[in-house]
Amino acid sequence: MSKKRIVLDTNVLGWALRDKINPSDRAKKLKAEKYLAQLNREDTTIILPTIVLFELLSVYSDSPQDKTDKINFLDVLSEWCQVTDFDDLAADTAANMFNATNTGTSGYDPAEREKSKRKTDTMILAQASCAEADELITNDLGFRKLADALTKLNICSVMVKDIPEDAQMELDELIDQ
């Protein structure tokens, strides 16, 4: 049986990758970290769409230290992570998805989400779809609703879900939420 292929949205990766914990982010960060540990146990493959990579890379400044960090970050990715291109196939898929959410005839109300967000959503979703990802994990409810509409239209086969709750989560962590 082939490994489950998972795409993580930018915020999920961001929470797992940062050290600083803001009070408002604590539960989300814990949830993201626990989920990633669970993925390790389940033997999954992480797929990184280049659109998500762009958003992550935007946090680097022009300082020499940041430039070095960025190169090292990319070096780790190139060796250990499947990065999926935004190529002609993804562009075609994204355009079909975007148009399906843009006309109002598909049952999805375009007023539900700004055009620029829908553009990014569909670009990421198209990359996930072309990479044959099984799931895309995002904390963004609007993104999940858009993907649901595309799934109903048979245009999207990737399951877009929130970070799964961990049944083992400690009581004090739940209280903090």
In the complex, the residues that contact another protein under the rule CB under 8 A are: 2-3, 5-6, 8, 10-11, 13-20, 22, 24-25, 28, 33, 36-37, 39-40, 43-46, 55-56, 58-61, 66, 69-70, 72-73, 76-77, 79-83, 85, 87-89, 92, 96, 99, 114, 116-117, 120-121, 132, 139, 154-155
Find the shortest distance in angstroms from Cβ 148 to another protein: 15
Element (H, E) at 36: helix 26-42
**41 or 171: CB nearest another protein:** 41
CA dist., res. 56 & res. 116, Å (int): 18
CA dist., res. 58 & res. 10, Å (int): 11
**79 or 172: CB nearest another protein:** 79
**113 or 171: CB nearest another protein:** 113
**30 or 36: CB nearest another protein:** 36
Strand ranges in 13-163 using DSSP code E only, listed in sequence order: 44-49, 82-84, 135-137, 159-161
Find the shortest distance in angstroms from Cβ 109 to another protein: 18
Are 168 and 18 within 8 A, CB to CB?
no
- Distances in Å between the alpha carbon of 24 and those of 15, 27, 29, 161, 175? 12, 7, 10, 21, 13
Find the shortest distance in angstroms from Cβ 55 to another protein: 6
**80 or 171: CB nearest another protein:** 80
Burial grade of 63 (CB within 10 A; 0-12, 13-18, 19 or more): exposed
Find the shortest distance in angstroms from Cβ 15 to another protein: 7
Find the shortest distance in angstroms from Cβ 167 to another protein: 18
Burial grade of 146 (CB within 10 A; 0-12, 13-18, 19 or more): buried
